[in-house]
Amino acid sequence: MAAPARIERPQAVLFACGLNSVRSPMAAGLFRQLFGQNIYVGSAGVKKGELDPFAVAAMEEIGLDISKHRPQTFEEIEEWEGFNFDVIVTLSPEAHHRALEVTRTIATDVEYWPTPDPTNTEGSREQRLDAYRAVRDMLMQRIRTRFGGHPGGNE
């Protein structure tokens, strides 16, 4: 039996990671920049962390403000919005396992994009920020590759 076809142009995408404090808010901000209001985007974590200031700084460098992001969990997303997402992109193993649990009984595609955690980087402020920049740039490339170019974003 062939694998189900992947949704190329979803109407709603959720990015998920461990704490919803670095990778998933960065991915959601990048996605929002590319697609504007054309595709709904959200982000969640397995647990709720605190928004990371290095993530905010890395995004500010490219003109995106994620400083108002409030980390939330899968449970909060489900309670407040419901799981009306066509695609959940998981960026960490724990988020991937949680997304598979949550979507067992609903028709949502789950894609795993292994993404390094820049919070483990040691060194100077600039060295640490470089790790966040690398994650930001990798996420942008993955989003463009997977979902396409610029279909009417906020540019």
Residue 152 within any structural domain of the chain: no
Contact 103, 32 (CB under 8 A): no
- Cα 6 to Cα 92, 101, 117, 129, 146: the distances in Å are 20, 19, 27, 34, 10
Q: How many domains does the chain have?
A: 1
Contact 69, 93 (CB under 8 A): no
Domain membership of residue 84 as a residue range: 12-147
Residue 137 within any structural domain of the chain: yes
pLDDT for 148: 86
Q: Provide the 3-class DSSP secondary structure of residue 71.
A: coil
Residue 7 within any structural domain of the chain: no
CATH number, domain containing residue 46: 3.40.50.2300
The full length of the chain comes to 155
Residue 6 within any structural domain of the chain: no
Residue 69 within any structural domain of the chain: yes
pLDDT for 7: 65
Q: Provide the 3-class DSSP secondary structure of residue 89.
A: strand
CA atoms within 13 A on the CB side of 5: 4
pLDDT for 74: 93
pLDDT in tens, the chain (155 residues): 444 456 677 999 999 999 999 999 999 999 999 998 899 999 999 999 899 999 999 999 999 999 999 999 999 988 877 778 999 999 999 999 999 999 998 889 999 999 999 999 999 999 999 999 999 999 999 999 999 865 444 44
Sorted by sequence, the CB contacts under 8 Å of residue 109 that are 6+ apart come out as 4, 6, 7, 10, 86, 87, 88
Cα 12 from Cα 23, distance rounded (Å) = 18
Residue 141 within any structural domain of the chain: yes
Cα 97 from Cα 90, distance rounded (Å) = 9
